[in-house]
Structure 1
Amino acid sequence: MTKELQLIVDQPCAGHFYWTIVYLGARGEDHSVVDYSRGPLPTRSSAMDAGMTALAGHQRAGSPWLGQTSGARFGWNLDTVPGTLLQA
């Protein structure tokens, strides 16, 4: 039973790219948002690079968001908190 993080890059409108790190959890657990970009990035490549940097930090630290706010641990914005994703 491993706990995995996944990076998603989305473009909700033209020229605005956002990254999101999602905790997949164990079978039967809800997926949760671990971390996300605070604003749009101009290209998919820049969003992917920023998201991969954040993902590497979470993986290195062993997913600290389970115990406390991830942004506080890494010195990022303090508004980073886990949130449940709605499945459609």
Structure 2
Amino acid sequence: MGKRPAYSYVKENVQKVWKIKEFTMNSYGNCFFTFEFNNEDDRRRVLDTGSFHIASKLFIIEPWEVFHEAEINDLKTIPIWVILENFPLEM
């Protein structure tokens, strides 16, 4: 959602987060990036790490599927879970 961060900025940050040097990254339009890994262990570790933020943008990490692009373009809201401690129960 919003303007996509620059390719080089995203690649540098995912390398830091994932601690993986060897992968192929492609960008598609203003919506998303795809990643191809050289081995299955790296891929599995990235999927287990889950989503994260780069430049205040949420990066949702999921295995690619056919017709996945249409689902991403339809994304308008993102549900979040909030924990409010000591909040009156009747509220």
Q: Do these two structures clear the TM 0.5 threshold for a shared fold by scoring above it?
A: no
The TM-score, its normalising length taken from structure 2, stands at: 0.29
Greater share of residues in strand? 1
The TM-score, its normalising length taken from structure 1, stands at: 0.30
Q: Larger radius of gyration, structure 1 or 2?
A: 2
